[in-house]
Amino acid sequence: MSVDALGGSITALVTPFKDGLIDEDGFQRLVDWQIKSGTSGLVPMGTTGESATLSHEEHNRVVALCVEAAAGRVPVIAGAGANATSEAISLIQAAEKSGADAALVVTPYYNKPGQEGLYAHFKALHDASGLPIIMYNIPARSVINMSVDTMARLFELPRIVGVKDATGDLNRVSEQRAAMGPEFIQLSGEDGTALGFNAHGGVGCISVSANVAPAECAAFQAASLAGDTQGALEWQDRLFGLHEAMFCEPSPGPAKYGAGKRLGLSGEVRLPMTEPTAQGRARIDAAMNALGIES
């Protein structure tokens, strides 16, 4: 599937568990429901999928399950990030072997490489795989910020095609557009600012909220990308409470709770993450009820 199809509402999928193990059937039901609800792309094994606490074998299995369940209906952008370049290479190669359409690669966390290290890391992944790569810039988690200049250098490579931007800085969209042009795929990593992100030149969002409200997030993106400013703003107003509720307690607990209510899945998470408290669950319930999507 061509990466030209990347855009709209792309869900950063949760990974359902059952008694501590991957709920394979539940995960594939989640994938099918997402696609039937209008989701235009899927990201297994991102932060929301709890990639940090899954083994490599589990990680690769989840990507393969997603590709199988999607069955070519929408692009699958496999998470393939790690703070060791060799580990990231093994993940992107496994994703390619499984049939993923692209890879989402986060800037290496904890190590704090410089800009030259970032360039070398992404180039190594580019050279080790035939998959298109979406860079993932999220300074709040990785403690490093990829510069626009480094992105521009990487965009010169044929299979580095865009960015998931979770900087929260809407100026970055215009700066990146000026440096790399409209062909550079810019996807928001924040549901709450996705409306402004698209207005600056973005083409969609890799969404947490879409785990819980896929049809509504898809409708919002469709209106936004069609230039229906009023319609998109109305959806933004309706969805904003859910966006906030998804981070009322550490993610992905709220998203797993909400998706679990809708599909009858467990809300289990792996330590050190914890499930939402009673207060958090009440807030998520209220946001879902306000959208008319309670279970």
- Going from N- to C-terminal start, the domains of the chain cover 3-228
Residue 35: per-residue pLDDT: 98
State yes or no: pLDDT of 295 exceeds 70. Answer: no
State yes or no: pLDDT of 73 exceeds 70. Answer: yes
Given 119, 136, 257, 261, the catalytic residue: 136
CATH code: domain 3-228 is 3.20.20.70
* CB burial of residue 50 (10 Å; 0-12, 13-18, 19+): buried
Residue 153: per-residue pLDDT: 98
State yes or no: pLDDT of 207 exceeds 90. Answer: yes
Between 83-87, 203-207, 281-285, 290-294, the lowest mean confidence (pLDDT) is in 290-294
Which of 42, 52, 49, 46 is closest to 22 using CA atoms?
A: 49
Q: In 3-state terms, what secondary structure has residue 257?
A: helix
Q: In 3-state terms, what secondary structure has residue 200?
A: coil
Residues 215-239: tens digit of each pLDDT: 999 999 999 999 999 999 999 999 9
| Mean pLDDT score, 283-287 | 97
Q: How confident is the model at residue 285 (pLDDT cuts 50, 70, 90)?
A: very high
Residues 96-120: tens digit of each pLDDT: 999 999 999 999 999 999 999 999 9
Residue 164 CA to residue 6 CA, distance in Å, equals 11
Q: What percent of the chain has pLDDT over 70?
A: 98
Residues 146-157: tens digit of each pLDDT: 999 999 999 999
Which of 172, 185, 197, 76 is closest to 131 using CA atoms?
A: 76
Q: From the CB of residue 147, how many other CB atoms can be counted at a distance below 10 Å?
A: 15
Residue 104: per-residue pLDDT: 98
CB contact at 8 A, 87 and 121 = no
CB contact at 8 A, 125 and 92 = yes
Given 18, 36, 164, 256, the catalytic residue: 164
CB contact at 8 A, 137 and 108 = no
Active-site residue flag, 164: yes
| Mean pLDDT score, 246-260 | 97
Can you state the angle between helices 171-180 and 148-155, rounded to 10 degrees? 40
Residues 6+ apart with CB under 8 A from 261: 288, 294, 295
Q: How confident is the model at residue 5 (pLDDT cuts 50, 70, 90)?
A: confident
Q: In Å, how far are 15, 122, 140, 273 from 103, measured between CA atoms?
A: 17, 11, 21, 25
Between 75-79, 141-145, 254-258, the lowest mean confidence (pLDDT) is in 141-145
Q: What percent of the chain has pLDDT over 90?
A: 97
Question: What's the whole-number average pLDDT of the chain?
Answer: 96
Residues 6-58: tens digit of each pLDDT: 999 999 999 999 999 999 999 999 999 999 999 999 999 999 999 999 999 99
Token pair for residue 165? 């931007």
Q: From the CB of residue 170, how many other CB atoms can be counted at a distance below 10 Å?
A: 17
Q: How confident is the model at residue 2 (pLDDT cuts 50, 70, 90)?
A: low
CB contact at 8 A, 271 and 52 = no
Active-site residue flag, 257: no
State yes or no: pLDDT of 1 exceeds 80. Answer: no
